[in-house]
Structure 1
Amino acid sequence: MGHNSGEKPRRGRPRDPDAEPRIRRYAVQLLLERGFDGMTVDDVAEAAGVGKATIYRRWASKELLAGDAMAEMFDIEIPDADTGSIAGDLRQVYRDALAFVNTKEGVALIRLAVTEINRDEQFTVFYRNFLQRRIAMTEAALERARKRGEPIRPDADPVLMVQWLAGVLILRALTGEEMPAVEDADRLVAMTMKSVTP
């Protein structure tokens, strides 16, 4: 007679901790190669080496997967910064942003995002939430600066701080105009600082 420890036997394959980042990575790759309509959950699953059920357990639709994958790509390429000064924070974020948008993938992702926002309301909500996260990060950076005693204007607007640079980059991506270079970060930071400090 076998000994029963009271533990339930584990069924199925163990959870793959690397599955989500791998799925997102291949989702972005296929989106850039084929566009939204050409990307399928079947193809993402095959490329990532997972079953479709694994994807649908995490994302209820292809739209949610695509939006999440693109938003994470932006977050990875343009991380939050905490350098010890508001100017330093802006400089790091701007340099990362400019480095990203000066790549073929960066421009393609911006164009894809704009296309999908116009195509599907889900993407509009998703990217509004993504921008809200960026605004919250900027608001936190302003608050840290105030606590350090930096002279931050009381009416410094984190919404406009995010939207003005995003607007420039989106417009240039759509019109094919040359993006600002990474070396332009200091000039763009100086423009932003005029609206942030007295």
Structure 2
Amino acid sequence: MQLLLERGFDGMTVDDVAEAAGVGKATIYRRWASKELLANDAMADLFNLEIPDADTGSIAGDLLEVYRTALLFANSERGLAVIRLAVAEANRDQRSAQIYRNVLDRRIELTEDALDRARSRGERVRSTADPVLMVEWMAGVFVVRALTGQPMPPPEDAERLADVTLRAILEDWSGSWPQPRSESDFAYSEFGNPPDPS
């Protein structure tokens, strides 16, 4: 991943990756048939690590957690480098653009899953809630900031940004944030009801 950030997709070679990993080029090709697949997996692993899916028990909690981790990542040295690299490369190289499209497609899938969970819990998700727009508008914030040289929104803005989204996708969003579930809540959800205190 570091080579991709330092040299970009065009500048990175499989030889470079093999040398950095201390293995032969054949070892790399046994796992990845092309540089595109290698870069795609590296980017997917990075986003899965830095911005993991959230299942907090409510769509508000899920979005707040994802937005908070996304803003933490965007404000990190590595996150800012990824955003700037995407902006620089995607418009001039279709192979690079596809790598970033794959990242967005995965985020869209996760967002659709979060909406489905919310509906199954009885949350009043609007029929117009669109996971594609939900992901693209947040990504657009990062791209615009990178293009104009402005700092990324701080992690403290997560509530404000999530609030905008929730007002668009929920019929009855009150602006009241749910309390995070405790470890015991997770235990009860897996193993049944809490013990009777009496």
Residues 1-198 of structure 1: pairs in structure 2 closer than 5 A: 28-198=1-171
Q: CA deviation at 1:66?
A: 2.1
Instruction: Kindly report the root-mean-square deviation, in angstroms, between the aligned alpha carbons of the 2 structures.
Output: 1.5
Q: Max radius of gyration: which structure?
A: 1
Alignment partners' CA distance in 1, 2:56 and 2:44: 23
Range with greater deviation from structure 2 (179-188 or 131-140) = 131-140
* Alpha-carbon distance in structure 2 between the residues aligned to 1:125 and 1:101: 20
Distance in 2 between residues matched to 1:142 and 1:58, nearest whole Å = 34
Q: C-alpha distance in 2, partners of 1:45/1:162?
A: 34
Question: In structure 2, how many angstroms separate the alpha carbons of the residues matched to 1:114 and 1:170?
Answer: 7
Q: Which amino acid aligns with 1:69?
A: A
Offset of residue 113 of structure 1: 2.0
CA distance in 2, matches of 1:117, 1:67: 13
- Displacement of 1:170: 1.4
Counterpart residue identity of residue 140, structure 2? G
Q: Provide the rounded CA distance (Å) in 2 between the counterparts of 1:30 and 1:133.
A: 23
Distance (Å, rounded) in 1 between the aligned partners of 2:125 and 2:109 = 16
CA positional deviation for 1:129: 2.6
8 Å Cα contact 2:43-2:103 kept in structure 1: no
Q: Which amino acid aligns with 2:169?
A: V
Q: Find the aligned partners of 2:89 and 2:31 in 1 and give their Cα distance.
A: 21
1:119 is paired with a residue of what secondary structure? coil
User: In the aligned structure 2, how far is the partner of 1:101 from the partner of 1:191?
Assistant: 19
Aligned AA for 2:148? T
- How big is the shift at 1:37? 3.6
Which structure 1 segments of 5+ residues have no match?
1-27
Structure 1 CA distance for aligned equivalents of residues 99 and 6 of structure 2: 22
Distance 1:130 1:101 in 2: 15
Instruction: Provide the identity percentage.
Output: 68
Q: Which runs of 5+ in 2 are unaligned?
A: 172-198
* Paired letter, 2:83: I
Deviation at 1:134, TM superposition (A): 1.0
Per-residue deviation at 1:115?
A: 2.6
State the distance in 1 between where 2:147 and 2:35 align. 24
| Structure 1 Cα separation of the partners of residues 169 and 153 of structure 2 | 21
Q: How many residues align?
A: 171
CA distance in 2, matches of 1:123, 1:190: 32
